[in-house]
Amino acid sequence: MFEFTGTFATQNGPKYLQQLCKHFAHKIDVTHSDTEGTCSFPMGQAVLKADDAGLTIRFELKDQDAADPARNVIDSHLERFAFRENFKHMTWSA
């Protein structure tokens, strides 16, 4: 298993968590509340947490080869959702 975490400092963390979870729920299994969520992607699981200081997403992937696609799916969606904040990508760390 390969794990890594992304962070996005924003006052809108709960808003983006809910947008991501509701969007992904159309295609994958998702559970979420206002401040926590879990998305079961084919490549592995994403655990989301949010508060007024930001959004954190921890991926638990089946293998390291899935890391780039996992980062891309989050970054590309947040780029659309957080366009007012000029979002480009999360800060990712292994």
For the stretch 6-18, pLDDT in tens is 999 999 999 999 9
Tell me what the mean pLDDT of segment 77-88 comes to: 96
Is pLDDT of 43 > 90?
yes
Tell me what the mean pLDDT of segment 21-33 comes to: 97
Is pLDDT of 94 > 90?
no
Burial of 2 (0-12, 13-18, 19+ CB in 10 A): middle
Q: What is the pLDDT of residue 23?
A: 97
Q: Dihedral through CA 71, CA 72, CA 76, CA 81, nearest 10? A: -20
Tell me what the mean pLDDT of segment 29-53 comes to: 97
DSSP class of 30: E
Is pLDDT of 31 > 90?
yes
